[in-house]
Chain A
Amino acid sequence: MQELVNIFVKSIFVDNMVFAYFLGMCSYLAVSKTVKTSVGLGAAVIFVLIITVPVDYLMVKYLLAPGALVWLGPEYASVDLSFLSFIMFIAIIASMVQLVEMIVEKFSPTLYASLGIFLPLIAVNCAILGGSLFMQQREYQSIWEATSFGLGSGIGWFLAIVAIAAIREKIRYSNVPAPLRGLGITFVITGLMGIAFMTFMGIKL
């Protein structure tokens, strides 16, 4: 249990997707103009990460890792399909996003209306694929650890995009040098926020 909480807190603050690894930067920069839309996108990212990371975990464990096919019979023990993981992950993410979109549309039209355009965008958000790749690289021990990592990373990304959107809404009133306006100043702010987040480094529960 403690390990789970540790992974969760670490993936929100210390290994924050945006500030430590710059994942999902494209949508982070493009959709952070207002707080309202960024909350929508952030929520969608959390949603998809909680689903795809555990599913990809099962994929790795029972299909892709060296010797993972042993449940088919002992003669498969030497099969290593891990070179297929990229294409597997992206296929799962794309289909999961499609599935999530359909389910949300059916059962919660209000949520669908607010997430609407963001859901399809998520398939190509590097934070999602990055989540699965980090999960594979860090070799989490159980599906619960993988889920807690997915949830934590999603929340970390959510925090980052909502915070930058709030700052960008306010910064419209300041006198930024013309060439830095828009993209430039967003980079600088993100850098400063990244430095702030580095103070969490070394936290261990």
Chain B
Amino acid sequence: MAEEKEPMFSPKNIKLLTNPINVDNPITKQVLGICSALAVTVKLEPAIVMSLSVLVVLSFGNVIISFMRNGIPSRIRIIVQLVVIAALVILVDQVLKAYAYNVSKQLSVFVGLIITNCIIMGRFEAFAMTNKPWPSFLDGLGNAFGYAWILVAVAFFRELFGTGSLMGLQIIPDSFYEIGYVNNGLVLLPPMALFAVATIIWVQRSRNKDLVED
């Protein structure tokens, strides 16, 4: 009996891509990858670069692990996964240093910390170890997008209200400042990232009651 070939974008595969963006979001539902999510969101630009880096590492890492999944002895799989991640992260880091040196300086240790970003380990363990390369790739993309939109949303608000600009361009017109508008310095402080994510969680869970914990 010939195995039925699944189309590239079957409904199941589409779900892999879209689920993590909302209901199964890596940050607000699976609680993965919080560390870096909060620390790089003061400005929009590093947040976008960070999201792209995670996107690259997660989707390619998922594919690589998925290709190797039958050859990895389960006792040493953590080490194998770490080596794959570390190699990819070194590549990303070198590319950033070469082409976006300023952003790479701003991200400082957080590029390196993608290695221990639990999103990546979590998806390797939960998905790539048991699935074929193509669905793994989609799963990686979906989760990276789920991670990215939270980062970008938080960074958007923090940069807009904290400095009055986006991507370094001034958005709030000078006339606002003349009539007494003041940038909110509190938004730039680390704790505000936590409040922003908490608000996203709050909104998301009140719209979708299934996500509520008790």
Contact = CB atoms under 8 A, between A and B. Distances in A.
Contacts of A24: 35
Contact of B191 (A21, A30, A137, A191): A191
Contacts of A182: 213-214
A94 B121 CA distance: 14
Given A133-B112, A194-B190, A184 B205 contact: yes
Contacts of B116: 90, 124-126, 128-130
A19 B191 contact: yes
B194 A83 contact: no
A20 B190 contact: yes
Interface of B: 28, 31-39, 78-79, 82-83, 86-87, 89-90, 93-94, 108-109, 112-113, 115-118, 121, 189-195, 197-198, 201-206, 211-214
Interface in A154-205: 177-185, 187-188, 190-192, 194-195, 198
B202 A23 contact: no
A201 to B, nearest CB: 10
A104 to B, nearest CB: 19
Nearest to A196: B191
A178 B198 CA distance: 13
Interface in A57-98: 83-87, 89-91, 94
23 contacts: A19-B190, A22-B34, A22-B36, A23-B39, A26-B34, A30-B31, A87-B87, A89-B112, A126-B36, A126-B117, A128-B116, A130-B109, A178-B205, A179-B203, A183-B31, A187-B195, A187-B201, A188-B198, A190-B191, A191-B193, A194-B191, A195-B191, A198-B189
A86 B89 contact: yes
Contacts of A198: 189, 191
Contacts of B191: 19, 190-192, 194-195, 198
A190 B190 CA distance: 11
A124 B109 contact: no
Contacts of B90: 83-84, 86-87
B31 A86 contact: no
A22 B118 contact: no
Give chain A's interface residue range (CB within 8 Å of chain B). Answer: 35 or more
Interface in A2-34: 19-26, 29-30
A83 B94 contact: yes
B109 A29 contact: no
Contact of B38 (A22, A83, A87, A195): A22
Contacts of A134: 109
Nearest to B118: A26
Nearest to B117: A126
Contact of B35 (A25, A30, A85, A191): A25
Contact of B113 (A123, A130, A177): A130
Contacts of B195: 187-188, 191
Given A25-B34, A129-B115, A86 B79 contact: no
A188 B192 CA distance: 9
Contact of B212 (A91, A124, A181): A181
